[in-house]
Amino acid sequence: MPGGDSGRPMRADARRNYERIVATAKDLFTAHGADVPLDDIAKKAGVGAGTLYRHFPTREKLFEAVYRDEIAVLADRAFVLHDELPPWEALQAWLTEQVTWVVERHKLATILKESIDSGSETFQYCQKRLREATGVLVETAQDAGLIRPDVVGADVLRLGHGAGMAVRNCSPEDGKRVLTVILDGLRA
């Protein structure tokens, strides 16, 4: 999470630099892998190397920030869908987005997960965010009597991840069929 060591909020310009570095790193890691020189990331982000290293003293800290950002965007979508759509449609849309994310971001996610210890605070934070987000959708759908009462958010996360891994190299029609089977299995 961005912020100085003092716990004070970042200045607006520092926050913009931080966000630009994370977005640039995400793009370059996706395109070129985990070994992209940090100086290249700084240059493409339009900041000096000192600015990058002030925010991210190690490559691992940058990986963690990119991973947190990716997960935050995905988790936030669950809450948006929850607020905008009826329960079943929200769950269906989010599961579709999760599968799409797994398919499209597989390379980046693999790089990031390999660099972050599963017991780390970042990994635990990301797992908690996704479980909370999915849990809201699942509980709302259960309250409406639309999905099985024995399902928990973590089940839906696992199903979405598994489906994404299974359909990475399949046609869009195959992917839709797999999602339909999963969704039918969730119904009450």
Domains of the chain: 1-57 (1.10.10.60), 59-186 (1.10.357.10)
Contact 136, 77 (CB under 8 A): no
pLDDT value, residue 27: 93
CA–CA–CA angle 149, 150, 153 (5° rounding)? 95
Question: How far, in whole angstroms, is CA 104 from its chain's centroid?
Answer: 11
pTM of the model: 0.84
The confidence band for 60, taking pLDDT boundaries of 50, 70 and 90, is confident
pLDDT value, residue 139: 98
Q: Which of 2, 20, 126, 101 lies closest to 61 in space, CA to CA? A: 2
pLDDT digits (tens, 9 = 90+) for 120-177: 888 889 899 999 999 999 999 999 999 999 999 999 999 999 999 999 989 889 999 9
Coil/strand/helix, residue 168: coil
- What are residue 187's phi and psi, to 5 degrees? -60, 145
Residue 62 has pLDDT above 80, yes or no: yes
Averaged over 73-96, what is the pLDDT?
97
